Chains A and B, each alone.
Chain A
Amino acid sequence: MQPFHELLLLLVVLTNFWVLGTTRLSATIRATAIQGALLAGLPLALYPGFSLHILALSTGTLVVKALVIPYFLTRAIREAAVRREIEPLIGFTPSMLLGAAAVALAFSIAPRLQLPGVRSDMLVPVALATVVIGLIVLTTRSKAVTQVVGYLILENGIYVFGLSQVERVPFLVELGVLLDIFVGVFVMGIVVFHINREFDSLDSARLTELRD
């Protein structure tokens, strides 16, 4: 049977497509939570042996990415009346096709990068694809909370890439990165909440007052 980590990476890509295709805001947040849980399992699958470093990283990722951040985002939109995303800048179907193209491109570029010592040959393509899909979601969606979800997916992609360098990047650093991301989303969630309060909508297309 296939190695477990390949299955996890496969599911990560599927959650990306889920976010690209769904219209419901709560579904996007749930997809991020599931992605966080998958990412928490990745270090354990890639580096079997249960060292303290890996266990702490997994637990931290699980708590932050799969529990705290989604809970917090859900609370941030609890007052929102409209829970559905409107047609994005490039349409849902083109988004999904673009995401598929990004995955194909990532898989074709990754072998040429020749990164040393990577445990799985699916890590780097999935990482790059996730980063690109995160950017797609961030730039084409108009609801503020979906943009935060796009940012989270971007960071998840970078995290997967970082997993290929786990021996090089010590635990303290990963902890700091995780903490930073958490605080970042915390602050963003507060702003999203305020946006909803102020504009009675999560639509960031309303934020057009400042211009030259």
Chain B
Amino acid sequence: MSLSAWLSLLVVMAVAPALPGIANRTKSALTGRRGAPVLQLYADLAKLWRKGVVYSLTTTAIFRIAPVVVAATTLLAASLLPLDGRSALLAFPGDLVAFAGLLGLGRFFLVLAALDTGSSFEGMGASREVTVATFAEPALFLCFTVLVLATGELRLAGMLGQPLALAWPAAAPSLVLAAASLFIVTLAETCRVPVDDPLTHLELTMIHEVMVLDHSGPDLALILYAGALKMALFGSVLVSVIIPRADLAPAAALAALIAGLAGVAVAIGAVESVMARVRMNRVPQLLVAASALAGFGLILQLR
């Protein structure tokens, strides 16, 4: 529970909403448009927070608590990561499972809320979201397994911190493969192209957007913020794998993290601008490919 860990968490929490903005701005720039301002999401969140909230008559308490649960679980998951490069607020052996579990819990409640509305539109989005998650989880765990084998640590703080920096020279190929796989998982978890297009409004093609259709006001603000924070979390994992920050001073490590997050957001935006969303039945294949990449990295570690 060191000061630098607290500080890093607060900074990341503050910076998170900028990331989708950077991604969208990159995409606009690459496709020749001006696009929305980078800090647009902050303005959206502020606007939504001031608004009143409307609840459908078919919904129950689940619908009301779901956004809070989502935000809380994402925050708890954030506290498991070593955002300052060397230590996390919470750490215990096996907390990588807790990380995935917390994010899964949040997603579970979102799905419940979507089903709670009684609308088939949202139910369809919920089922698609869960399908994507079913394929993304194994890839995520395979990546974590590669990290575990490379560092010998079972805590995220160790896997992404100092021991990882030591393990880099020997396990480089596996880590590169794991990073590639992680990038695809990030795209899946944050619902970006090529898994899900955040801009589409067609019933046939929506996944995440349609799930949160009925939320309004502060609830919607919480969900949007949780989504941005999730992007920041996965981005941090990716950055930690690629750039070992354990040897830097805390401030420098934090700065490197912010820069890395921005880089990840730019990469997401770039991918969005060059690729189209893949067909719905090809999404599992893409995620299986990500699993295969991570699996190959695992094989390289085992030999």
Direct chain A–B contact by Cβ atoms under 8 Å: yes
Q: A residues bordering B, Cβ < 8 Å?
A: 1-2, 6-7, 10, 13-14, 17, 21, 92-93, 96-97, 99-100, 103-104, 107, 111, 121, 125
Contact check, A21 vs B303: say whether CB atoms are below 8 A apart: no
Taking CB atoms and an 8 Å cut-off, the chain B residues in 261-303 that contact chain A are 282, 284-285, 288-289, 291-293, 295-296, 299-300, 302-303
Contact check, A1 vs B292: say whether CB atoms are below 8 A apart: no
Q: A92-B282, A100-B292, A100-B296 are in contact. List 12 more A-B contacts (CB 8 A).
A: A6-B173, A17-B296, A93-B284, A93-B285, A97-B288, A97-B292, A100-B291, A100-B295, A103-B299, A104-B295, A111-B303, A125-B303
Closest CB in chain B relative to A20 CB, distance in Å: 8
Chain B contact residues: over half helix, strand or loop, or mixed?
helix
Could you tell me the distance between the alpha carbons of A13 and B292 in the complex, rounded to whole angstroms? 11
22 A-B pairs (CB sep. < 8 Å) = A2-B172, A10-B300, A13-B296, A14-B293, A14-B296, A17-B292, A17-B293, A21-B289, A93-B284, A93-B285, A93-B288, A96-B285, A96-B288, A96-B292, A97-B288, A97-B292, A99-B292, A100-B291, A100-B292, A100-B296, A104-B299, A111-B303
Could you tell me the distance between the alpha carbons of A14 and B172 in the complex, rounded to whole angstroms? 16
Binary CB contact string for chain B from 172 to 186 against chain A (1 if under 8 A, 0 otherwise): 110001000000000
Could you tell me the distance between the alpha carbons of A161 and B177 in the complex, rounded to whole angstroms? 24
Could you tell me the distance between the alpha carbons of A7 and B175 in the complex, rounded to whole angstroms? 13
Q: Is B169 an interface residue, CB under 8 A from the partner? A: yes
Partner of B172, one of A1, A96, A100: A1
A6 partner residues in chain B, CB cutoff 8 A? 173
Given known A1-B172, A2-B172, A6-B173, contact A17–B289 (CB-CB < 8 A)? yes
B303 partner residues in chain A, CB cutoff 8 A? 107, 111, 121, 125
